[in-house]
Amino acid sequence: MIDSDLTQYTIQAFGLTPDGQALARVLDSFEAKETKASETVSPDVDSASRASMTGRVVLCDGLMPGETAEVRLDDTGSRLLTARLVRILKRSPDRVEPFCPIYNECGGCTCQTLTYNALLLEKQRHIRDCFLRIARIPEEETDALLRPILPAENPTGYRNHMQYRIRLDEDGAFRFGLHARKSHETVATPDCSIAHPIADLVKNTIEEYLNEPEGRDVRARIPCDAKLIVRVGTRTGQILYRLQIPDSGSRKSGALSRTADSADCMLPVARESLPERRSVPRDRYRLVTVIDFDTCISRALRTFAPKYKLARNEIEEQIGPRRYFISPESFFQINTDQAERLYDTVLEFFENAGAPPVEAIPENAKSERAAPKDSQSAGAPLPTVLDLYCGTGSIGIHLSARARRIIGIESNAQAVEDARRNARINAVPNAEFHVGLAEDYDYAGLDLQGPLTVVLDPPRKGCSPRLLEKLIALAPDHILYVSCDPATLARDLRLLLEKGYRPKAAQPVDMFPWTGHVETVVLITRVDK
């Protein structure tokens, strides 16, 4: 029993959740000084509840690791209690003021009150804790396999994909923004610190146009629950935006063309404000695609102005020597620079698992990779790669020069079309991609002869036990697990450990600076290998 109005507790934070809440332990309790004697609860209940709280883990907003604070506890009925911050007793030397002026209102970033280095250490600690506590990997083994996190060279302006929501202000003006913190409301975001500056420019330009007299006709066709999606090719300079306008015909086409003209005219202004460190020269950013949610794409795009190349319905991005087509709804990593480091890590682990470096593959083996028979390198067959949750095929294609075959499985049909096209434009004949759910797919129908490596890149919820059991039945020699949630990664690792597999190396990559989220690549090997 908790009487949060009468009792305050001292807690000490020891970590952060991916959502930026502090994980803290209750140290002791005391009766709030402002409590009147007549309001005191029964001594038996009070002493019992206070004693039972000591050592309990609670969640608290506004607290950083290492800090102690006075709080009041709320019993939400869940396993973890929540704490309401009263005052901070001891501040962390790593605490800083957030650089975003709307940090406390916006739900985009969750960890701007820590220095970047301290946040990296916290992410590293979280992964280590999950390996120890959930996967139950011994401490010595965990410390041996877990590498230091790869920091982002550019921790701001990195998001190449933004999804904005519309808010209607009291004065009738349209504002594009993001979800408010812990709310379904929308908070206006004039300039987002983590969005690519071009994405913000496109959003601000369209917002400005819609709020001017000439934009009223367009604004009347946009519902308040509409979304604006902006994707930026940070290596190619190509820009796509998608605006929901639930009208049809020429009126819609004209409306979208006018917003496109407005955004395109403003691009030269934005180019001058871009930092020089960007990998694309400032004058190369250009709008290439404008589409909407609610019409047949192939029919509607033909009515748009041809200068935007609108019939393409995608942008291109480049990672290493490869170029990738990305459709509006296809998954692609939101941080291009860090995605390249992640893919290179997957490739390194693949080579460490026994795949030959590309210079070691004979020319005759390279030319035969599309054939079903095993090609040989130094007397050993090239491995087949089964790429699950393959998205647009980027990881598999990145590995293709070292593999006999790449077989990708993805539930999003448009992403599979992108993957097949990406294989063609990158001259990768040994890759094939299929539509299907990874946990339901009939792998018996695939040619998986010879050495087998499985790539797993699941969503945040991780892999289902059903999928893991299917993989264990396939008995792959190695698994390359790319995870965006250390807790579900550790859960899946524990099951694989019980079935004869062992992690050999783990590399965290800070894909999402100023949030609590982190990517981790793990090389997992069958014990008898």
Q: How far is CA 164 from CA 192, 208, 516, in A?
A: 11, 15, 21
At residue 230, the 3 state secondary structure works out as strand
Q: How far apart are alpha carbons 192 and 190 in whole angstroms?
A: 7
At residue 246, the 3 state secondary structure works out as coil
Q: Tell which residue, 48, 51, 5, 44, has the closest CA to residue 28.
A: 51
For residue 100, indicate whether it is catalytic.
Answer: no
Cβ-contact 27, 56 below 8 angstroms: no
- Among residues 207, 368, 410, 519, the one annotated as catalytic is 519
- Among residues 417, 439, 484, 498, the one annotated as catalytic is 484
410-427 exposure pattern, b = at least 16 Cβ within 10 A, e = fewer:
bbbebbbbbbbbbbeebe
Q: Tokens 């933004």 — which residue?
A: 162
Structure tokens at 469: 């059991």
Q: How far apart are alpha carbons 354 and 350 in whole angstroms?
A: 7
Alpha helix segments (H runs only) across 165-230: 197-210, 216-219
Q: What is the Cβ-side half-sphere exposure of residue 23, based on CA atoms within 13 angstroms? A: 14
Eight-state DSSP code of residue 180: B
Q: How far apart are alpha carbons 12 and 257 in whole angstroms?
A: 56
Order the strands of the 452-456 sheet from edge to edge: 431-435, 405-410, 384-388, 452-456, 478-483, 519-526, 501-509
For residue 519, indicate whether it is catalytic.
Answer: yes
Angle CA 308–312–318, to nearest 5: 95
Q: How far apart are alpha carbons 103 and 100 in whole angstroms?
A: 5
- In 136-202, beta strands by DSSP E: 161-168, 174-179, 186-188
Q: Tell which residue, 56, 76, 78, 74, has the closest CA to residue 12.
A: 56
Cβ-contact 156, 79 below 8 angstroms: no
Cβ-contact 195, 228 below 8 angstroms: no
Determine how β-strand 161-168 pairs with β-strand 81-90.
Answer: unpaired
Q: How far apart are alpha carbons 238 and 78 in whole angstroms?
A: 46
Determine how β-strand 380-381 pairs with β-strand 376-377.
Answer: antiparallel
Structure tokens at 132: 């120890």
Cβ-contact 29, 71 below 8 angstroms: no
Active site residues: 484, 519
